[in-house]
Amino acid sequence: MAKQKIKVICDHCKGNGYLRESNGSYTEVHQCPTCNSQGEVVAELYEQLINDGVVNKDATVKQLKDLLVEVEKAQLQ
Ligand SMILES: [Zn+2]
């Protein structure tokens, strides 16, 4: 199956590109290491999943990871 690269909202920072860490009296802001502060990450997916509408471009990283696990399981059977 052909793979296609799509951009998805970063699940780690919810698309903000940075993380706020409350530290008692002040809040630290960190760059998101998952997406390099881009707010989105590039994911490689099987084209068929996109064509079938199983995946849409608003999917979160977690949803994609769950989906890829399912795909791998299916291939093992
Ligand atoms: Zn991020």
CA distance 17 to 13: 6
User: How is the chain split into domains, by residue range?
Assistant: 5-76
Instruction: Say which CATH topology domain 5-76 has.
Output: Chaperone, DNAj Protein; Chain A (2.10.230)
Q: How many CB atoms lie within 10 A of CB 55?
A: 22
DSSP 3-state helix, strand, coil percentages of the chain (rounded to 5)? Answer: 25, 35, 40
Please give the distance, rounded to the nearest whole angstrom, from the Cα atom of residue 5 to the centre of ligand 1.
17
Q: Can you tell me which residue has the tokens 């299916």? A: 74
Please give the distance, rounded to the nearest whole angstrom, from the Cα atom of residue 42 to the centre of ligand 1.
11
For residues 10 and 45, the model is more confident at 10
Please give the distance, rounded to the nearest whole angstrom, from the Cα atom of residue 76 to the centre of ligand 1.
31
* Residues in the 5 Å CB sphere of ion ligand 1: 10, 12-13, 32, 34-35
Q: Average model confidence (pLDDT) for the chain?
A: 83
pTM of the predicted model over 0.85: no
The tens digit of pLDDT for each residue in 26-56 reads 999 999 998 999 999 888 877 777 777 777 7
Closest C-alpha among 43, 27, 23 to residue 35? 43
